[in-house]
């Protein structure tokens, strides 16, 4: 996947997250499609694709949600860097690592974004409690269980053409 395709995909996913995402709520949990797909792309395709996905998806999220510019991108870039480390550490079992990685990194993303938005906004009191982050983490993990192993397997299958590599 080229970086341009990753950037366009991230922008479309961010628009989808902000327009359709609120209708897909389950209780207090709202999906973070940009986060999940950034982690999946990083583990499946590599750091460069994940960085492009995280940066452009974060910028589009910030512009459309009227957040401080760069806060979502910063949180997503941190998460993508950690996902790249996890992907390299467990390279043999990447399809199985996607869901636990998204579970852990969704919590890291939510906490980082929570701290950034609390620090950058004028209000002294946080707008949401820390207990509200748990359902979103579970929702993101369920999405990763469905999408993650399939994306990694498709990427690995596409890369393996059956040609002998000398």
pLDDT tens-digit series, residues 77-131: 999 999 999 999 988 888 889 999 999 999 999 989 888 888 887 554 555 666 7
Domain boundaries, given as residue ranges, for the chain:
3-159
Higher pLDDT, 160 or 56: 56
Q: Assign 1 a pLDDT band (cuts: 50, 70, 90).
A: low
- As a three-state string, the secondary structure of the chain is CCHHHHHHHHHHHHHHHHHCHHHHCECCECCCHHHHHHHHHHHHHCHHHHHHHHHHHHHHHHHHHCCCCCHHHHHHHHHHHHHHHHHHHCHHHHHHHHHHHHHHHHHHHHHHHHHHHHHHCCCCCCCCCHHHHHHHHHHHHHHHHHHHHHHHHHHHHHHCCCCCCC
Query: What's the CATH fold of domain 3-159?
Result: Arp2/3 complex 21 kDa subunit ARPC3 (1.10.1760)
pLDDT tens-digit series, residues 122-141: 554 555 666 778 888 889 89
């Amino acid at each position: 996947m080229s970086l341009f395709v990753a950037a366009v995909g991230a922008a479309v996913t961010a628009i989808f997250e902000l327009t359709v995402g609120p209708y897909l709520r389950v209780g207090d949990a709202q999906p973070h499609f940009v986060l999940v797909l950034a982690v999946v792309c990083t583990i499946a395709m590599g750091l460069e694709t994940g960085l492009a996905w995280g940066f452009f998806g974060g910028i589009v999220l910030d512009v459309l949600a009227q957040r401080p510019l760069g806060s979502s991108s910063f949180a997503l870039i941190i998460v993508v860097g950690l996902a790249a480390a996890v992907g390299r550490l467990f390279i043999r079992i990447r399809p199985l690592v996607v869901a636990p990685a998204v579970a852990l990194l969704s919590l890291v993303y939510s906490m980082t974004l929570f701290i950034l938005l609390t620090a950058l906004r004028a209000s002294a009191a946080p707008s949401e409690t820390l207990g509200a982050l748990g359902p979103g983490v579970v929702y993101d993990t369920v999405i990763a269980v469905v999408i993650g192993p399939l994306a990694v397997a498709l990427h690995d299958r596409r890369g393996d053409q059956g040609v002998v590599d000398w």
